[in-house]
């Protein structure tokens, strides 16, 4: 049985802090072990953004990769990039499960960079530890994160009742 996320002061504080800054064009990375509410935090922020009348989208990184590849094959990569840049808030979940190719890295970095330039907020979610996360995000994305938002490590136990390290070792 899943615990109530709202009963966690750390989760509530992290979520409220993110929501309070969404209109600033921030980039946050939520990371930590499985089950401690990273995705729920981002979805709560997404719902708050929508309730404020702002367009918001949630994708898994691998789905973005597939979408961009499909659109490139059809000759519509620019339109695909613009679609990912347009919402006020973009949530990208499971960053570590993106395709580990130069095209994937370049495409996702381009999306983050264009969102940064347009002052649009982005939340990236990962189960990776900070040192590995910096490696897989790439220097361009890390610079954007440091400048506008930050890495937020979810260090509290799983809400799913698991005592697991998750995929944190990847």
Domain boundaries, the chain: 34-154
Query: How many other CB atoms sit within 10 Å of the CB of residue 121?
Result: 26
pLDDT at 47 over 80: yes
Q: Summarize the confidence of residues 67-93 as an average pLDDT.
A: 89
Q: How confident is the model at residue 117 (pLDDT cuts 50, 70, 90)?
A: very high
What pLDDT, in 10s, does the model give residues 134-146?
A: 888 888 788 889 8
Q: Return left, alpha or beta for 55; rule: phi > 0 is left, psi -120 to 50 is alpha, else beta.
A: beta
| Residue 124, strand partner residues | 29, 92
State the pLDDT at residue 4: 56
The pTM of this model reads: 0.86
CA distance 35 to 29: 16
pLDDT at 41 over 60: yes
pLDDT at 29 over 70: yes
Q: Which helix (H) or strand (E) holds 45?
A: helix 38-51
Whether 79 and 53 have beta carbons less than 8 Å apart is answered as: no
Tell me if the domain spanning 34-154 has CATH number 3.40.50.300: yes
pLDDT at 78 over 70: yes
């Amino acid at each position: 049985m899943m615990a109530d996320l709202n009963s966690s002061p750390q989760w509530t504080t992290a979520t409220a802090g993110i929501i309070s800054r969404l209109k600033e064009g921030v980039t946050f990375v939520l990371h930590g072990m499985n089950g401690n509410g990273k995705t729920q935090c981002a979805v709560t922020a997404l719902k708050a953004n929508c309730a404020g009348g702002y367009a918001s989208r949630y994708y898994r990184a691998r789905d973005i990769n597939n979408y961009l590849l499909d659109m490139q094959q059809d000759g519509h990569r620019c339109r695909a990039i613009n679609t990912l840049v347009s919402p006020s808030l973009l949530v990208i979940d499971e960053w570590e499960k993106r395709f580990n190719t130069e095209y994937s890295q370049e495409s996702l970095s381009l999306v983050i960079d264009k969102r940064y330039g347009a002052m649009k907020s982005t939340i990236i979610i990962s189960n990776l530890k900070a040192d590995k996360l910096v490696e897989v995000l790439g220097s361009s994305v890390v610079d954007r994160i440091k400048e506008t938002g930050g890495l937020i490590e979810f260090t509290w136990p799983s809400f799913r009742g698991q005592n697991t390290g998750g995929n944190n070792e990847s």
